[in-house]
Structure 1
């Protein structure tokens, strides 16, 4: 697709737009998918609508005027990276002998209702600010000479204007007027050299100002040209876009849905209207084959097929399920939305124009597995066009791609703001989709934005350590928080969050194969000296369950009064034995809930093992200094 992606969106900033006072700069994800995550009413939709309003073919909507100040002017700034070749071509079009050495960032600003400009930084780049500075310096030097002569010969009259470069054209006009005022009286100047100097210097300043004026006019021409390269911002709403059941043929040529269908399937209305019966039959077969093959890539829920048919008056659309044909209107709202989404998004990413796809709450009406299909389609479309979508669903957030997420929040005083990192100041409701996506259980009352966190492998570790903290009346030097991951292999995600939030933490792992592999990988990824890892036992292949004396484990964890029928295995092996059907999470939760009942019944060896583990954790957490630094702690 020639001409596509010569301007690549890098960031945006929105000011004075509805609930937004100043969004801050939002930097887009490098993989072409950016996710705006936040709770309801945080301003996610407002951001997408503002970006839609950046389109060159429309005014910023009237209702965009800010809630906090009706007099303030809505403003949307978008920064693009523009290809070097495209910029050189643009400079050539406006007659400027200027080139850049590499792809360059250009910030374009749109103010209500439809006024485009470029930022001062961009102006400096385009106008060669070094050249402007040289011209200003030359003018200042000449102006001083004129001012000195005029002071010596005040009788020549005229009003010498103050030197200000805010309005170059106005300054030029004022100097021309001054020149006309003094010219008839130059004979009064007795020194011939001064007489010539004031006249020539005035004309010299006017000539330089004319050159600067030309540069400013070229900026205006640059804006006209660069506007033609701005991609289309296409907003797709989960609330409005529904797949139709039928469309009259008489209206089909102007129907946006049919236009999109034609882009992705080669739908030919002329063939449908006037082709021979054989050609129409062949065209229908090819259309349905194409739709089936493409759609089933992005809908894995069942063997549904999309079918198109027509008569002399209408185009008809059907969903084929179990050999029966149903109009889309007879299927669920989520299914209708997904069909429309598939057609619209496919077309936007494939058409021969540059698009940026904006989607408000994709998959709102779909269940979790279908939302995963939505994500697959978005990733496919992002190969051709940047995608920005809003969500509060964890199923549209991939745990290994949290860098896509931008948190949207709305502090009462500040209005809607964008955070480029998942930060600790965000409230729990804002963080919910991210927390859920990485496998944390909100039902146990976690608050991952607090300091001094002990990251453990799973829920059972969380319950065991929480229980023994109370059973042993263990007093940590700091107010610590246990946070469970969804397995040793997922704990790196929590470490990334802790680092991003600037929080103190340590990691507690079993000394089994998975724990040791996680230890090695975490040390490699985050630095051996920078990450604090504790293995629950010095004995290889021991897990947290093995810290219990066998009798304690069988009686208080497995809830079995007798151990005669159980095989002689480690506790950690016993609880995993399939034919015994133990659920370690439920058993650990039950132990936690019964902790007060068994407080005095546990053996000394079990208490000692957990006391030792908690002490090592406490020493590690205590090594973190108030300034966030830490001392080295030996790992056991």
Structure 2
């Protein structure tokens, strides 16, 4: 099962978060106190790998605390939708419903700990339309009239037809019928059946079949909701991914005072920081397969009265030796596992116990001397602590765990944060991952479609949205949007500082399409760029001149400019060629150059059928699909706008970016092999010009 979206309600600062769409990696971006943590915690508590107990004094919203405390079973705090395609076959067998309505499952958890399972695509019927019921009876009438009756059944046929006709008339104008109405009709019809029909009768079996149809329809209406079937509930809840939550508060210290640890691990009144630390320590000692009190006991020295007791001395020696061997074994195991997981360092870990103290020592190939963990970088402390939680709490079921990381890498250098972002990308091959941040270094400017903005709404509650512009009306107080803008700015700066090949485009939708095409062409081995190609947007043709002058860099080579072939693009191209690009006119490109018709835009680079399918899936409310009217060889955007106007669909501001984001996701999932050769040729021709 794969998480696709979730909604938090009535949890701490969250009244209703709105639906938060989830990718394989999802970044929740928000300023301090926006409530980012309060979106991760309820997800964790939906199905925690370990711990994650509900705590009324912490988790209940203060405004409705009394209401929830009085009736916790009435308040769901988390609802999550999952792609259940892998369970659809089993669910169909348990419910008798088609797989197509069972491949999405929604799971809610209430404050009493109970779960609600439902299937959003399944619409349970409790009545049938009058026309359907009358149609059932009319079909029977027609067939009764066409069946050859026995000689002695002449009057019987008329009686049965009259009974059916009478019930059909009683249905007319009645509206939808429930199960009781259907069974009443069947009972009335049953009165017309002869007690001893002729064994060779053809009329009576057809009449009896109508009674069976009415009963079957009634049973269909009284079927339980699929989520209320106990076997279905057990299957779904048993297959729920486990959530592993980690925050910086849980980072390990290098020296651990065991009596203090024993005391804290038994307490239930710890604060947030102390509780997180205690949790990580529980995980650590679970990994070494020893508890703190066992370590203390195994290391207990000879007491004053035992000094002459040879047997006791030998026993104490053997216990200490056993403890040392176990700790060495755990250190070796951790070293091997961590090396397979974290490729950016060759670390060796060693656990030592001395009296009341437990220590973690670290060395690596560049610094072979052993150093206490606390004296190594906070980044390594974070990675080690998180890895232990991930490894132990998921209990080796890594593939079915979803990782929730709260403000990861805060103490890391900016470049290390960028490495952490790449690490998340690798980890996402086996696990979905959600993380909160306010750092622009953890926002991938090429993957803004997986970013969600977390902000405080007008009523003071926490909201989340994929619209990165949402939030405060005053742009000077844009909060998390600043981190996103900073990420974009750094993307542009890197094209100067790190030797990338910048190609200026008009807007973010161009960014999405060209990044997608670049990835597909590389995968198809149609291009092999020597430098990373980036697509900084000028945010409108008017800004193109300024952006070009900034990006010309120290060698004064003007970057490639790719513009639409529409009126604004043509005017901008003319201005540039008469101005800053006067001596480099060939570096101003138009989409028209690669499409063979005028007034083209970036969207026209995509195959018409593929683009039309994306439009139809995003704008489902149309009576006539766009794919029925789309024409190849003509600018596609004006066609979409004309079709939408004709269908009464209001295209939201920025709709082109939303479509570009969806097209990019679908194309990358589809892969280059599903695109025709002429499309790849056209794209390769464009990138050959870009790389010049």
Measured on the aligned residues, the alpha-carbon RMSD in Å equals: 6.0
Match of 1:28 in 2: 22
Contact 2:180 2:218 in 1 (8 A): no
* Deviations 1:421-460, CA, capped at 9 Å, x for gaps: 433766432222222233369xxxxxxxxxxxxxxx779x
* Deviations 1:298-323, CA, capped at 9 Å, x for gaps: 88999875321347988642345773
Matching of residue 341 in structure 1 with residue 350 in structure 2: no
3-state DSSP of counterpart to 1:387: strand
Contact 1:233 1:355 in 2 (8 A): yes
- Tell me, in whole angstroms, the C-alpha distance in 1 between the residues paired with 2:235 and 2:371: 51
1:496 to 485, 508, 525: 508
Matching of residue 41 in structure 1 with residue 33 in structure 2: yes
* Deviations 1:104-143, CA, capped at 9 Å, x for gaps: 333334455434131442x24xx7x8xx887875446679
Matching of residue 10 in structure 1 with residue 4 in structure 2: yes
Contact 1:21 1:68 in 2 (8 A): no
Aligned ranges 1:589-604 → 2 under 5 Å: none
Q: How big is the shift at 1:335?
A: 5.9
* Deviations 1:176-205, CA, capped at 9 Å, x for gaps: 799999999x9xxxxxxxxxx999988864
- Tell me, in whole angstroms, the C-alpha distance in 2 between the residues paired with 1:146 and 1:59: 63
- Tell me, in whole angstroms, the C-alpha distance in 1 between the residues paired with 2:565 and 2:328: 53
* Deviations 1:135-163, CA, capped at 9 Å, x for gaps: 8754466799999959999xxxxxxxx87
* Deviations 1:505-535, CA, capped at 9 Å, x for gaps: 4312247898767415x45999995995636
Aligned ranges 1:548-587 → 2 under 5 Å: none
- Tell me, in whole angstroms, the C-alpha distance in 2 between the residues paired with 1:628 and 1:97: 39
1:77 to 71, 76, 79: 79
- Tell me, in whole angstroms, the C-alpha distance in 2 between the residues paired with 1:401 and 1:526: 27
- Mark the CA change 1:348 to 1:394 in structure 2 (over 3 Å): closer, same or farther: farther
3-state DSSP of counterpart to 2:452: strand
Match of 1:91 in 2: 92
Q: How big is the shift at 1:247?
A: 8.0
Contact 2:9 2:16 in 1 (8 A): yes
- Tell me, in whole angstroms, the C-alpha distance in 1 between the residues paired with 2:64 and 2:350: 50
Aligned ranges 1:222-233 → 2 under 5 Å: 222-233=232-243
* Deviations 1:288-345, CA, capped at 9 Å, x for gaps: 45544665788899987532134798864234577354364x7787764443123223
- Mark the CA change 1:119 to 1:226 in structure 2 (over 3 Å): closer, same or farther: same
Contact 1:36 1:388 in 2 (8 A): yes
1:519 to 560, 563, 566: 560
- Tell me, in whole angstroms, the C-alpha distance in 1 between the residues paired with 2:321 and 2:487: 52
- Mark the CA change 1:140 to 1:241 in structure 2 (over 3 Å): closer, same or farther: farther
- Tell me, in whole angstroms, the C-alpha distance in 1 between the residues paired with 2:571 and 2:3: 36
- Tell me, in whole angstroms, the C-alpha distance in 2 between the residues paired with 1:61 and 1:493: 51
Q: How big is the shift at 1:8?
A: 1.2
Match of 2:672 in 1: none
Count of aligned pairs between the two proteins: 467
> Structure 2: which 5+ residue stretches go unaligned?
69-73, 139-161, 194-205, 267-277, 299-314, 513-536, 588-652, 656-692
Q: How big is the shift at 1:44?
A: 1.0
Matching of residue 323 in structure 1 with residue 324 in structure 2: no
Aligned ranges 1:346-361 → 2 under 5 Å: 346-347=391-392, 351-352=396-397, 354-361=400-407
- Tell me, in whole angstroms, the C-alpha distance in 1 between the residues paired with 2:421 and 2:35: 22
Contact 1:59 1:112 in 2 (8 A): no
- Mark the CA change 1:120 to 1:147 in structure 2 (over 3 Å): closer, same or farther: farther
3-state DSSP of counterpart to 1:418: strand
- Tell me, in whole angstroms, the C-alpha distance in 2 between the residues paired with 1:403 and 1:173: 51
3-state DSSP of counterpart to 1:228: helix
- Tell me, in whole angstroms, the C-alpha distance in 2 between the residues paired with 1:346 and 1:134: 52
* Deviations 1:83-106, CA, capped at 9 Å, x for gaps: 34x3213333x26374459x9333
Match of 2:544 in 1: 507
Matching of residue 212 in structure 1 with residue 221 in structure 2: yes
Contact 1:301 1:370 in 2 (8 A): no
3-state DSSP of counterpart to 1:80: strand
- Tell me, in whole angstroms, the C-alpha distance in 1 between the residues paired with 2:505 and 2:60: 38
Q: How big is the shift at 1:391?
A: 0.4
- Mark the CA change 1:334 to 1:183 in structure 2 (over 3 Å): closer, same or farther: same
Aligned ranges 1:227-376 → 2 under 5 Å: 227-243=237-253, 245-246=255-256, 257=280, 267=288, 287-289=330-332, 291-292=334-335, 305-310=348-353, 316-319=359-362, 323=369, 325-326=371-372, 328=374, 336-347=381-392, 351-352=396-397, 354-376=400-422
* Deviations 1:561-598, CA, capped at 9 Å, x for gaps: xxxxxxxxxxxxxxxxxxxxxxxxxxxxxxxxxxxxxx
* Deviations 1:536-570, CA, capped at 9 Å, x for gaps: 242359x9xxxxxxxxxxxxxxxxxxxxxxxxxxx
Aligned ranges 1:148-227 → 2 under 5 Å: 172=179, 205-214=214-223, 216=225, 220=229, 221-227=231-237
Match of 1:438 in 2: 488
Match of 2:118 in 1: 118
Greater share of residues in helix? 2
- Mark the CA change 1:293 to 1:235 in structure 2 (over 3 Å): closer, same or farther: same
- Tell me, in whole angstroms, the C-alpha distance in 2 between the residues paired with 1:61 and 1:355: 23
> Structure 1: which 5+ residue stretches go unaligned?
1-6, 154-161, 166-170, 187-196, 442-456, 460-483, 544-626, 630-636
- Mark the CA change 1:46 to 1:134 in structure 2 (over 3 Å): closer, same or farther: same
3-state DSSP of counterpart to 2:81: strand
Q: How big is the shift at 1:37?
A: 0.6
Q: How big is the shift at 1:12?
A: 2.0
Q: How big is the shift at 1:363?
A: 2.1
- Tell me, in whole angstroms, the C-alpha distance in 2 between the residues paired with 1:244 and 1:146: 88
Aligned ranges 1:399-438 → 2 under 5 Å: 399-413=445-459, 415-423=461-469, 427=475, 428-438=478-488
Contact 1:19 1:416 in 2 (8 A): yes
Contact 1:232 1:355 in 2 (8 A): yes
Q: How big is the shift at 1:231?
A: 0.6
- Tell me, in whole angstroms, the C-alpha distance in 1 between the residues paired with 2:418 and 2:20: 25
- Mark the CA change 1:537 to 1:362 in structure 2 (over 3 Å): closer, same or farther: same
Query: TM-score, normalization: structure 2?
Result: 0.51
- Tell me, in whole angstroms, the C-alpha distance in 1 between the residues paired with 2:566 and 2:351: 54
- Tell me, in whole angstroms, the C-alpha distance in 2 between the residues paired with 1:34 and 1:397: 10
